[in-house]
Chains A and B, each alone.
Chain A
Amino acid sequence: MSQVPLSHILVVSTALFFIGMYGLFTRRNMITMLMSVELILNSVNINFVAFNKYLYPDKLEGVFFTLFIIAIAAAEAAVAIAIIINLYRNFHSIDVEDAGKMKF
């Protein structure tokens, strides 16, 4: 582990973040946008764990932040999918361009 410098892990997580960002920009389907958001959250988790392991090996703060982010991501995915299913019931499409109305 010590042979790989911290900056290489950070470059990998940055690349993953921007891959997720690209998906968020180009996709117009809500489920694929949700997948991109999951990639972005995971890149942040890699950062937290790597910083904890390399810079503060005597503490566990990064681990806790990662665990809480994973819990919030799970809650967020569940709520998003409930909203997507409700939207599909009303519009018969989950494209963000088709969902122009908030109240119907």
Chain B
Amino acid sequence: MSASAVIFYILSFFILATGLLAVTSRKIFRSAIWLLFSLTGIAGLYFWLQMEFIAAVQVVVYVGGIVVLIIFSIFLTQQSGRDLPAPVRSRAIFSVLAVCTGFVLTCVLLRGYAFGRTGRTDGGQTFAGPVASGVPAVDASVGTIGAQMLSTSEHGYVLPFEVISILLLAAMIGCIVIAMKIKPDEK
């Protein structure tokens, strides 16, 4: 087993262990911190996959933005020292059963499916793995991603980019309207 594979298994163990702690911890603040570790581990997984830009976005948006927002809202709405109530026993048992069934089912499906190994044909196009395809790998640098995201040609993503900016604007205005305090004399 090479060093790269060892790094992958350590990273995935870290992600899964901290993720499990994040959904089972009884203290809500600790739960948020475990989520922070899990998201950082996922950023490490993107680095391992040589997607540096996605890893940077993951760190900036998730670790620096969403988790901080969650921690702020914990401080605004909870006594963070108090334990959360334990889940109802029957609900916990059935959730574990459902989750294990789903996981095993998905793993069986994954085992049975040959991802690009067989050179399966689909609509006249040959699907092949990265080694067999012979196409040079595109360089996933910020320059390439930015040029394709703002290009108006056939494989450009300028329309989704604009749609997402409208969505972000709508979300921003919506947040302000929802969280705005109505003064008692105006009610």
A residues lining the B interface (CB < 8 Å): 1-4, 6-12, 14-16, 18-23, 25-29, 31-32, 34-36, 38-39, 42, 45-46, 49-50, 53-55, 57-60, 63-64, 66-68, 70-79, 81-86, 88-89, 94
Contacts and interface: CB of A to CB of B under 8 A. Distances in A.
> Interface residues of A: mostly helix, strand, loop or mixed?
helix
Q: How large is the interface on B (under 10, 10 to 19, 20 to 34, 35 or more residues)?
A: 35 or more
Given A14-B110, A27-B87, A78 B115 contact: no
Contacts of A42: 38-39, 42, 62
Interface string B48-83: 111101100110011001100110111011100000
A84 to B, nearest CB: 6
19 contacts: A1-B48, A2-B131, A3-B4, A15-B103, A22-B23, A31-B78, A32-B31, A38-B66, A50-B49, A55-B129, A60-B138, A60-B144, A66-B54, A71-B167, A74-B168, A78-B69, A79-B175, A81-B73, A86-B178
Closest A-B pairs by Cβ, 5 of them: A23-B23, A25-B95, A75-B171, A57-B137, A26-B87
B51 A63 contact: yes
> Interface residues of B: mostly helix, strand, loop or mixed?
helix
Contacts of B24: 23
